[in-house]
Chain A
């Protein structure tokens, strides 16, 4: 054969170093997502809204710790703190979730992502874990402040600190539950549209419109309907799971004997949201 068909080597240097695999890509997206959640590495404008929310939540925790230390009045315990902050958590995921997924769709960089050794599962998993971590930090750090406030003012020495710590651990678990549920649902809604503004509006509208449904169902003249009312909204669903796991009946929501159903629905909700996200990105990835 002649030399006509030869592709000439014009001297570009080949990359000979180690090639990082899927796990490195996962780690990079996760780290970048977590930093982007709080606007780190972005301009000052991108920091305003996340830190506004974080500031309010921290302020409430500090006030709570101070009031408890000075006047021994307990405004919130670790669990009701999460419930009271629910609107701020909604606002936070409405800020962050579109930032994580809608931006990539809007600027059309998804084909670049998926030209790497990266599956749809990795991309979604990394974004989901990043958002869940951010929400957990949003709730968990203030809870830690409340714990420190309680620990330094305890009267029982080390035993008091230990008891306070045993209260904190399930509180953190509850925050983790909040983080997982809110992260999965908000990412699913945000992945529908590339416009950040519409994604944010959609997330808030979804969470807020479910709350009155619970209010209506809980006044229907049927005790089963009342016990199951909390299933209609993610916020009351989490309260229901809390009531089931802690065996409490004095919360806002009476779950009766249906506590298990709350647990099952919380699990299925997260699972279904992640599966739908996966299905969504299977399609986007092939574009």
Chain B
């Protein structure tokens, strides 16, 4: 299991595409620094930077790239066969991949969010964002890992979830927020450090329970899917 995790991490971080993960965190911290340098009131820029860029774009997009990459790229290349034929429980494969995906997503998004939170308000706010980001990274990773097993176009489906479900419908239709991980993250962070910047639209118990359901449910279903995984032919 540790070997699978090691190979996954190397495949993820060892190539040039790891640089794709850098611009978003740098932009987040850079914007926060600009606002601090010009002494703008955090109440004005906090919402746009922390929620608009950090929680609505950076966290889901990074989790999407990583979460669909850990297993999806192996399915695409066909190298998944090598792992599947080893005497390893499918559960261990999923858990190892999920661990790596959630860990890398959490680290890449929590650090810049912490810096931004400290610049915006206080260390407490930064830590609240870290907790929210870690919870969100686990839930997102489980969801996107599952997507890469359910469909051959996981990135597009994940983008549809981020853009259409969380982005477009979440703004206009209140009912979709109950199934939006972004809202859970906002609610959890807001509960830990209440500020005017975050505006949680779901209740705290709902947020926590649904995050756990997304994480565990996604993992169990992914294990189930990998258990009956058949190596398919070419994509259309």
Residues of chain A touching chain B, judged by Cβ–Cβ distance below 8 Å, are 42-43, 45-46, 49, 52, 56, 87-88, 90-91, 94-95, 193, 195-198, 200-202, 204-205, 208-209, 211-213, 215-216, 219-221
Rounded to whole angstroms, the CA-CA distance of A279 and B167 in the bound complex is 35
Taking a contact as CB atoms under 8 Å apart, the answer to whether B65 and A216 are in contact is no
Q: How far is the CB of A196 from chain B (nearest CB, A)?
A: 8
Output the nearest chain A residue to B64 by Cβ-Cβ distance: A201
**Contacts known (A56-B164, A209-B24); A221 close to B65, Cβ less than 8 A:** no
Contacts of B52 in A (CB 8 A): 211-212, 215
The 3 closest A-B pairs by CB, nearest first: A215-B48, A212-B53, A43-B236
Chain B residues 154-174 with CB under 8 Å of chain A are 154-156, 159-160, 162-164, 167-168
Rounded to whole angstroms, the CA-CA distance of A32 and B69 in the bound complex is 30
Taking a contact as CB atoms under 8 Å apart, the answer to whether B31 and A200 are in contact is no
Contacts of A205 in B (CB 8 A): 20, 23-24, 57, 61
Output the nearest chain A residue to B68 by Cβ-Cβ distance: A197
Taking a contact as CB atoms under 8 Å apart, the answer to whether A95 and B27 are in contact is no
**Contacts known (A201-B65, A208-B57, A212-B49); A49 close to B160, Cβ less than 8 A:** yes
Taking a contact as CB atoms under 8 Å apart, the answer to whether A220 and B40 are in contact is yes
Contacts of B168 in A (CB 8 A): 87-88
Taking a contact as CB atoms under 8 Å apart, the answer to whether A88 and B164 are in contact is yes
Rounded to whole angstroms, the CA-CA distance of A195 and B23 in the bound complex is 19
Contact partner, B163, options A198, A202, A204, A211, Cβ 8 Å: A204
Contacts of A88 in B (CB 8 A): 163-164, 168
Rounded to whole angstroms, the CA-CA distance of A19 and B38 in the bound complex is 65
Chain B residues 129-155 with CB under 8 Å of chain A are 152-155
**14 extra A-B contacts, CB within 8 A, seeds A201-B65, A220-B40, A221-B39:** A45-B152, A49-B160, A87-B167, A88-B168, A91-B160, A91-B164, A95-B156, A197-B72, A197-B76, A204-B61, A205-B61, A208-B57, A212-B48, A212-B52
Instruction: Verify if B212 is at the interface (C-beta below 8 Å from A).
Output: no
Chain B residues 104-120 with CB under 8 Å of chain A are none
Q: List 26 A-B contacts (CB under 8 A).
A: A43-B236, A45-B236, A46-B236, A87-B164, A87-B168, A88-B168, A90-B163, A91-B160, A91-B164, A95-B156, A197-B69, A197-B72, A197-B73, A197-B154, A198-B65, A200-B159, A209-B24, A209-B53, A209-B57, A212-B48, A213-B27, A215-B49, A219-B35, A219-B44, A219-B48, A220-B34
**Contacts known (A87-B167, A216-B34); A42 close to B156, Cβ less than 8 A:** no
Taking a contact as CB atoms under 8 Å apart, the answer to whether A216 and B31 are in contact is yes
For the residues of B in contact with A, the DSSP-based class is helix
Rounded to whole angstroms, the CA-CA distance of A146 and B228 in the bound complex is 48
Contacts of A219 in B (CB 8 A): 35, 40, 44-45, 48
Output the nearest chain B residue to A193 by Cβ-Cβ distance: B17
Chain B residues 62-92 with CB under 8 Å of chain A are 64-65, 68-69, 72-73, 76
Rounded to whole angstroms, the CA-CA distance of A91 and B39 in the bound complex is 36
Q: How far is the CB of A137 from chain B (nearest CB, A)?
A: 20
**Contacts known (A201-B65, A209-B27); A52 close to B160, Cβ less than 8 A:** yes
Contact partner, B155, options A90, A197, A209, Cβ 8 Å: A197
Contacts of A215 in B (CB 8 A): 45, 48-49, 52
Taking a contact as CB atoms under 8 Å apart, the answer to whether B23 and A216 are in contact is no
Q: How far is the CB of A197 from chain B (nearest CB, A)?
A: 4
Contact partner, A213, options B31, B39, B154, B164, Cβ 8 Å: B31
Rounded to whole angstroms, the CA-CA distance of A88 and B68 in the bound complex is 22
Contacts of B65 in A (CB 8 A): 198, 201
Output the nearest chain A residue to B57 by Cβ-Cβ distance: A208
Contact partner, A221, options B27, B38, B164, B236, Cβ 8 Å: B38
Taking a contact as CB atoms under 8 Å apart, the answer to whether B236 and A87 are in contact is no
Contacts of B163 in A (CB 8 A): 87-88, 90-91, 204
Rounded to whole angstroms, the CA-CA distance of A94 and B162 in the bound complex is 13
Rounded to whole angstroms, the CA-CA distance of A45 and B232 in the bound complex is 15
Taking a contact as CB atoms under 8 Å apart, the answer to whether B20 and A198 are in contact is yes
Output the nearest chain A residue to B16 by Cβ-Cβ distance: A193
